[in-house]
Structure 1
Amino acid sequence: MRTPLIAGNWKMNGSAALVEEFGRVFTDARLPASLDVVILPPFPYLDAARHAFADTVLRLGAQTLNPLHSGARTGEVSGNMLKEFGVAYALVGHSERRQLYREDDEAVHDRLLAALSADITPILCVGETLEERDAGKTMEVVLRQVGYVMARLEPDQRARVIIAYEPVWAIGTGRTATPRQAQEVMAGIREYQAGFDRELAAGLRLLYGGSMNAGNAAELLAQPDIDGGLVGGASLKVDDFLAICQSAG
């Protein structure tokens, strides 16, 4: 049985006050018995979040990391540094990193390995643009992104990866893949993984990212191959994010 996971990606948003608010609300929040919840705030708030979330179910994640352990990389953060602040998860390959910062599949692969080496669970983000979807290339693009990384990992490494499908055309646009569209892609990813190991594929956690909100979360999470959500804008509203988490029960 796969444990659902809801991850809130704050991107370059948030405040110390929001961190404290999440800590207060989730201290007494009623949530499904089996659920993992992760908040991925900007780097400056990690230490405050570690303390604010100490008595809650909330765990910490990072939005990216550098492939190197240390070095002359001004402005960058390593996995070992993140681990010191209680970070348990890290996004790799988010579409905004791929598009705005030109991170290609090789860079994504290197960051994923860095997360694993720091004992941080990587959340590998994959997804197609609107042009690629309209051209009928959704599965080609998604499986290329998945395959470039997963085919190069050892079996024990693959078992530690979470995959988030985020159709680029649905991020921050208010548009959302229909549950059927999302399920088709998720099923394709799981079947691809079965080519390595069917037991591993059965246990692989797949998240949907792309304008998941309190209104559509339950229907998306009801799909057989969707095990949780990578939530953007709605994760900045504590009541909405809590409602999404409660939908995962």
Structure 2
Amino acid sequence: MTRRKLVAGNWKMHGSLAQLAELDAIAAAARANPQVDVAICPPFTLIAAAAARGDLTIGAQDSHQNEKGAHTGCVSAPMLREAGAKLVIVGHSERRTDQRESDAEVYAKARAVIAAGMIAIVCVGETEGERDAGRAAEVVERQLQGSIPADGTATQLVVAYEPVWAIGTGRTPTVGDVAAMHASIRTKLGDMLDAEAEGVRILYGGSVKPSNAAELMAVNNVDGALVGGASLTAADFVPIIEAAARA
């Protein structure tokens, strides 16, 4: 099955109204490479303004699992959709670690995002200690089992594999390691989602940059990238989009 590449930028806690000017060149690159889906996930405060700039897909970095309620400081999936978001990252390792989010919470958030009519990008990945102990595949399979709604479809779900030890460190696994993990994820999705599994895109994340994007995009079962720091400027992000288009 041919799956469209998706390159999604996660701005994390960076960005300002002035920085949204970067989106113009990113949107132009998306139009020039229509075979690739491109998205930017800015902070909550910038979603509406980013969505109003044009036709670039805008997403969010998190969502609360409840539609509304007494949850001070939280934002629900319907609120995000109303602001202009089309997809939402859930279960990023920084939230699993810093906010101690469990697989069950990530599962509930993914369901809420899908119920609101958006795409859920569900993040999974092992720590350096887990990889060194030979438990990387086991950990990722457990996260998938606990975080992915079993009734999700390929149009509603994206999986992002981000080895925790590679995020923001400049380190990346070998191409062989990436291929093995993405194949393992594909197999696990097949066990969980049956026929839908082949259509679910699996992104690689973790220090993706212009210099390694082409190599990563060529790996079997790598259907795009979830990009952190390199998504903050068009100068770094556009070459990654172009690498995905060539893959």
Query: Match of 1:216, SS?
Result: helix
**Counterpart amino acid of residue 162 in structure 2:** E
In structure 1, the partner of 2:18 is 17
**Counterpart amino acid of residue 11 in structure 2:** W
Query: Match of 1:195, SS?
Result: helix
| Residues in 1 aligned to 2:68 and 2:147: alpha-carbon distance in whole angstroms | 23
| Residues in 1 aligned to 2:28 and 2:132: alpha-carbon distance in whole angstroms | 45
Pick aligned residue for 2:225 from 220, 226, 229: 229
In structure 2, the partner of 1:67 is 65
- TM value normalised by structure 2: 0.94
In structure 2, the partner of 1:95 is 93
| Per-residue CA distance 1:141-200 (angstroms, 9 max, x = gap) | 0000001133x522xx24321000000000011111122111110000101122245532
2:33 maps to 1:35: no
Number of equivalent positions: 242
**Counterpart amino acid of residue 142 in structure 1:** V
2:172 maps to 1:176: yes
Query: Match of 1:5, SS?
Result: strand
Tell me by how many angstroms 1:16 deviates: 1.0
Query: Match of 2:159, SS?
Result: strand
**Counterpart amino acid of residue 22 in structure 2:** E
| Residues in 2 aligned to 1:18 and 1:200: alpha-carbon distance in whole angstroms | 38
Tell me the C-alpha RMSD between the 2 structures: 1.3
Tell me by how many angstroms 1:48 deviates: 1.2
Q: How much identity, in percent, do the aligned residues show?
A: 45
CA contact (8 A) 2:150 2:192 kept: no
Query: Match of 1:212, SS?
Result: coil
In structure 2, the partner of 1:85 is 83
CA contact (8 A) 1:31 1:245 kept: no
Pick aligned residue for 1:153 from 150, 166, 172: 150
Aligned in 2, Cα 1:28/1:90: closer, same or farther, shift over 3 Å? closer
In structure 1, the partner of 2:120 is 122
CA contact (8 A) 2:214 2:243 kept: yes
Listed as ranges, the gaps of 5+ residues in structure 1 are: none
**Counterpart amino acid of residue 205 in structure 1:** R
Tell me by how many angstroms 1:70 deviates: 0.8
| Per-residue CA distance 1:46-85 (angstroms, 9 max, x = gap) | 1110122x1x4x2011000001111111110000001111
In structure 2, the partner of 1:162 is 158
| Residues in 2 aligned to 1:61 and 1:33: alpha-carbon distance in whole angstroms | 18
Which runs of at least 4 in structure 1 moved beyond 6 Å after TM superposition?
none
Query: Match of 1:230, SS?
Result: strand
| Residues in 2 aligned to 1:182 and 1:103: alpha-carbon distance in whole angstroms | 25
Aligned in 2, Cα 1:173/1:112: closer, same or farther, shift over 3 Å? same
Pick aligned residue for 2:137 from 139, 162, 179: 139
| Per-residue CA distance 1:206-232 (angstroms, 9 max, x = gap) | 000100000000000001110000000
1:183-202 equivalences in 2 (<5 Å):
183-197=179-193, 199-202=195-198
Listed as ranges, the gaps of 5+ residues in structure 2 are: none
**Counterpart amino acid of residue 59 in structure 1:** T
2:210 maps to 1:214: yes
Aligned in 2, Cα 1:235/1:107: closer, same or farther, shift over 3 Å? same
CA contact (8 A) 2:22 2:233 kept: no
| Residues in 1 aligned to 2:63 and 2:138: alpha-carbon distance in whole angstroms | 27
Query: Match of 1:248, SS?
Result: helix
